Chain A
Amino acid sequence: MNPAEPVAAVPTDVALIAAWQSGDEQAAAELVRRHARALARFLAGAGALDTELDDLVQETFIRAFRRVDRFRGQCQFRTWLLTIGSNALKDAGRRAKRARMVPLDAGLHAAGGDPYELAVAEDTKRRLAEGLARLPRMQREVFLLRAQQGMEYDDIAAALGSSPGAARVHYHHAVKRLKELVT
């Protein structure tokens, strides 16, 4: 890129939210584009089935846009969105079924490599997903927000209405339990 070329400023999430509140639909669409994949990954990690993932992502965004006036920048928009997604998943009421039907990533089947190693990796992942399903909800959410999404404890705590210290404790409990379940 030519350094002299002006770079269009990328609107922040907060700016997009304000634009959406003023009636700009494209601002909402842009927020979906930005966060949909991360939300899908979080929901899948939390146990959402492949078949329900698209609906859950949509439902989460609908809920978020409907109550966006409650978002006051206390945490990142994405963290807030993921906690709404967690509620949507819970409301779907299919946790028992999910526990029995842990999604396996098709990528592993398609990827090349040693079949034995692939099978071991797949098995580890399956047990991690099963372990996550057995964790208390708070531990599962904190673990995914931290380990999968890379969120800071302060941000996680703000989104969950907890304290950073409590979030840290939840995370460490989750890690300890998952290690027991996976190894």
Chain B
Amino acid sequence: MNDQSLHDEELRALARQLGADAAERLDVERTAQAVLRRLREQPRVVRAKPPLRTWLPWAAAVALLLGGGLVWRSRQPAPGAPAATAFAPAGLDLTTLSADQLRELLNTMDQPLDMEPTGSGESGLDDLTPGELRNLLGTLEG
């Protein structure tokens, strides 16, 4: 064994002997009961997450709420201000539009007309004259 011809099989046989006696001396039943006892006595510890991971989702949620609130507020018209200020395309001369074109343009606006009081309880555009329509668009255009 101790010469220069240690073969793989001999090495494996030696490796199999390593620790064999120590393993035989192990009291397996006592070990099993000790493991069970320790499992009962030491309940699984849930590792605390780093503080960063704890507050990060909350910070993100607060930032989203604040940001959303700011965006929502910026879209609200100031009290007494026109409901919308830039519905008509820039440079569009309203005086050149016919009554039907003006109605069509107004109908494309998704801003409810009742946000801007017109003096009548009606919000229909059909009753308005071309001049009234131009005035209305003019107020919307600012």
The secondary structure that dominates the B interface is helix
Contact check, B11 vs A44: say whether CB atoms are below 8 A apart.
no
- Chain B contacts of A66 at CB under 8 A? 44
Establish whether residues B11 and A179, one from each chain, have CB atoms under 8 Å apart when the complex forms: yes
A148 within 8 Å of B by Cβ?
Answer: yes
Does A77 belong to the interface (CB within 8 Å)? no
Q: Is the interface of A mostly helix, strand, loop or mixed?
A: helix
Mask: chain B, 34-53; 1 = CB below 8 Å from A; 0 = not:
11101100101000000000
Q: Which of A1-9, A11-19, A34-42, A158-166 contacts B (4 or more CB under 8 A)?
A: A34-42
CB distance from B132 to the nearest CB of A (A): 74
Are B23 and A44 in contact (CB-based, < 8 A)? Answer: yes
Is A33's CB within 8 Å of the partner chain B? yes
- Chain B residues with CB below 8 A from A124, complex form: 1-2, 14
- Contact across chains for B14 and A32 when beta carbons are under 8 A apart: no
Residue of A nearest to B28 (CB): A36
- B11–A178 touching, CB < 8 Å: yes
Q: Tell me if A101 counts as interface (CB < 8 A to partner B).
A: no
Number of chain B residues close to chain A: CB under 8 A: 35
A143 at the interface (CB under 8 A from B): yes
Which size bracket describes the interface of A in this complex?
Answer: 35 or more
Q: How far is the CB of B130 from chain A (nearest CB, A)?
A: 76
| Contact B42 A62, beta carbon cutoff 8 Å | yes
Query: With the chains together, A58 CA to B33 CA distance in Å?
Result: 10
- Residues on A lying within 8 angstroms of B by beta carbon are 25, 28-29, 32-33, 36-38, 40-45, 48, 50, 53-54, 57-58, 61-62, 65-66, 103, 105-107, 120-121, 123-125, 128-129, 132, 143-144, 147-148, 175, 178-179, 182-183
Q: Can you identify 9 A-B contacts, CB atoms within 8 angstroms?
A: A25-B39, A28-B39, A33-B28, A36-B32, A44-B22, A54-B26, A61-B31, A148-B19, A178-B11
Residues of chain B having any CB pair with chain A under 8 Å: 1-6, 8, 11-12, 14-29, 31-36, 38-39, 42, 44
